Amino acid sequence: MKYIDEMDLKGKRVLFRFDFNVPLDANQNITDDTRIRSVLPTINYALDENAKVIIASHLGRPKGKFVEKMSLAPVAKRLSRLLGKSVTLAKDVTGPEVRKTVEAMKPGDIVMLENLRFDAREEKNDEEFSRELASYADVYIDDAFGNAHRSHASNVGITKFVPTCGAGFLMKKELTYFSKALEKPARPLVAIVGGSKVSGKLEALANMIKRVNKMVIGGGMAFTFLKAQGVEVGKSIVEEELIEKAREVLETAKKLGVKVYLPVDCVIAESKDPEAETKIVPIQEINPQWMGLDIGPATITLFTEALNNAKTIVWNGPMGVFEIDAFSRGTSALAHSVANSYALSIVGGGDTDVAIDKAGERDNMSYISTGGGAFLELLEGKELPAVKALKKSK
């Protein structure tokens, strides 16, 4: 696969696929511009090469229709401010007006196409739409890791029609860190897996259990594993249909000599209500009418001990309902433990990213991935469709 710094961009029209699916408040103000800032090196490189920069991205789920509150106007405005350079927002995704705008570009100009998902053909990976997008470009660069697990026109279909295709610096960084974590890791390699459900992460668990030295399981999904071991977990979230699968993962770990760490105590309450009474109890003493909503202090100590000799840590998913202060301490404490370790720490998944920010530990992680679904698919051992398309395009 080619990368941007191996390609001739001078004076050429370069179409970039970025993931500018940023959070907006009720007044259309961007509340977190991490995804925009993360691709600035890629854009600046192209500008330094005197390229004509054309930007494509999606925002939200407009389902093939124009939805004003999902316009990329706030993104164009923020990017313009970050670059100190004017960014022209096209009035549409494709069409005669867009073509006119692109054809009038001079080297160093930046044009942003409107939200790709305003056109229903984008998510269908429509060939004609792919061809239209490709017609604007001499070179195509994909730097949208957060969307790399999708097979859409703007990241897969387009690669058939642009003569020169490659990846940007963000994509390179994401794939390089994953290689360090899963292909040639410094060991011991410890995986921390959390979140509410096993179902969304079953393939990742099955793949990683064969690669890691230790696996730490927390969050709501831990209760399915605890129930698989015969522990009564009250009204805690349990996926009954996956208890057998959880048992299989534990059996595989035992055969391979992989140490699996599960909670030994937890914070329980009658409901997720922030005002609800809470108690800290050993796992074996969960009230039948209450539910586990965070890991307890003994578990925090246990999990921290498990990380002490780690050389590589991969983390996906929080340890509890961290959005509510009463159930956020476990995730926050683990964030501090990972930050204080001497390991290469790679973190992914939207919730985990937010939790680390909340704990104030963003700058102390080796790498925080910009992709949730893409991060998970790599943990599952899959090749991302967008990456596969770039490799084919050579």
Q: Active-site residue numbers?
A: 35, 197, 350, 373
Which residues on neighbouring strands pair with residue 167, listed in sequence order? 3, 142
Q: Write b or e for each residue in 50-74: b if 16 or more Cβ atoms lie within 10 A of its Cβ, otherwise e.
A: ebbbbbbbbbeebeeeeeeebbbbb
Q: Is there a contact between 310 and 188 (Cβ–Cβ < 8 Å)?
A: yes
Distance between CA atoms of 197 and 125, rounded to whole angstroms? 30
The strand order across the sheet containing 265-269 reads 278-282, 265-269, 291-295
Distance between CA atoms of 216 and 222, rounded to whole angstroms? 9
Single-letter amino acid, residue 247:
R
The strand order across the sheet containing 259-261 reads 259-261, 214-217, 189-193, 312-316, 344-348, 367-368
**CA distances from residue 370 to 80, 198, 221, 234, 284 in whole angstroms, order as listed:** 21, 22, 23, 36, 38
